[in-house]
Amino acid sequence: MLKATRSHVLLFIASTSFLALPLVRDVKAQPAQAVPGGIVRDAAGWMHLSAMAEPAPIALGAFSRWGMWDSPPLKLQQSFEAARVRYRDQLPVGTRRFVAVRAGADGRHWSEWEWDVSDGRVVMFDGEQRWIQHRVVLLGSAGRSPAVSAITIVPEAARTTKQAAGRTAELLAPTYRLRVTRQGMAGRRTANGYVIKPNDFFVSLPSWTVLSSRDGSEYMVRLSANGKSVDVRVADVGPWNRQDNFWDTDRARYTDLPVGWPQDHAAFYENHNGRRAEKGWVRYPSAVDVADGAYRALGLRGSQATVNVTFLWLGKDPGPNPQPLNDHPSQRPKTPVYVEPELPAVVEAQMGETPPFSAGIMEPPAHDDVTLTPTEP
């Protein structure tokens, strides 16, 4: 079994005080063998692609080998609002690597992934956190593999805050009326390595920041149409874009567009960016790919449809068939609504314990969960 190791570092908090907090490192060394996820770690401590790693999913490009590994979530002894990420890497020509980090206050509800974090970067989180996790994605060819080693995540005192100052109200999970497409592709792999089944239930969204773990449901949306609603997990990235987290107030790209307005919709309806998205000329608008089972459960026909999409991880559940913030996919949406929060139930967990499971949300995996942690055959 490959498990996370823990040590301690001294974190400078003020000019005269220090606080000892756990340090997160990558998995323990094992002989290079094929494992679920396509990533192994050799005796020298480098994580790289297994010789038997599979071709990359479509969303990751034309690489003949790929692998993705999510570290076990770790609860820290003290809360934090920022973390510095350090690692070493080797990138032969024609290979790529991505390191991502996310945090959570209770081990069940997670921030979005901070994607493609560079060595030495300080990642800011929204408010105080207690749990931390990292993700490694490697892409290579038949004869070449990138490598990553000595992944270290050090909690730090926040320099600024992503949270709006003085805000006490809770965001009502926003709903937008969007054009969507039926995904199909049974038998192919999604961006997180999941193999698509006939009549499956999941969606693709155009950002790596909300890609759930292979068998997890950390990020969920509610699809509503024809008086019906169905909740499904985010398991793929697409269709038109890969870096358009249009649901976030601090969207990574296309900051000239309002929150909730997908870039591909703006391209199609308003000629944004010369009617081009990351994948080229926008022939039709589609901000979400919907797996066949969910598509049919809503009574949708054909390959394109209009659906209300609620981003459930962003706030308070609005209930089934919520009112969208725009009346038509061609219209720019209104500003998301804030509501006064209810007092939450407090769940206490000791280091290494798993908080109670909440339906639709992934609980922190045990260290022997082979879907998330590489294990020996």
Report, as an integer, the average pLDDT of 323-349: 75
pTM comes to: 0.81
**The domain that contains 181 carries what CATH number?**
2.40.40.10
Tokens of 203: 């969606």
The answer to whether residue 18 sits within a structural domain is yes
On whether both 149 and 188 belong to a single domain, the answer is no
**The domain that contains 143 carries what CATH number?**
2.60.120
On whether both 187 and 318 belong to a single domain, the answer is yes
On whether both 227 and 315 belong to a single domain, the answer is yes
Q: How far apart are CA 209 and CA 117, in angstroms?
A: 12
On whether both 86 and 179 belong to a single domain, the answer is no
On whether both 17 and 63 belong to a single domain, the answer is yes
Q: How does pLDDT run across 79-137, given as a tens digit for each residue?
A: 999 999 999 999 999 999 999 999 999 999 999 999 999 999 999 999 999 999 999 99
Last residue of a domain, one of 156, 191, 220: 156
On whether both 257 and 297 belong to a single domain, the answer is yes
Across the chain, mean pLDDT equals 83
- Indicate the pLDDT class of residue 7, thresholds 50, 70 and 90: very low
Count structural domains, the chain.
2
Sign of CA dihedral 369, 374, 375, 377: positive
Tokens of 335: 């500003």
The answer to whether residue 151 sits within a structural domain is yes
Please give the sequence-ordered ranges of beta strands (E in DSSP) within the chain, or none if there are none: 4-14, 17-27, 39-41, 47-49, 65-70, 74-90, 96-104, 122-140, 147-156, 170-171, 175-182, 203-205, 220-225, 228-237, 276-277, 280-281, 288-290, 304-311, 338-339
Span of 19-28, 138-147, 361-370 with lowest mean pLDDT: 361-370
Q: What is the pLDDT of residue 35?
A: 57
Q: What is the pLDDT of residue 194?
A: 96
Query: Of residues 366 and 254, which shows the higher confidence score?
Result: 254
DSSP 156-195: E--SS-SSPTT--SEEBPPEEEEEEEE---TTSB-TTSPB
Q: Which range marks the domain in which residue 62 is found?
A: 4-156
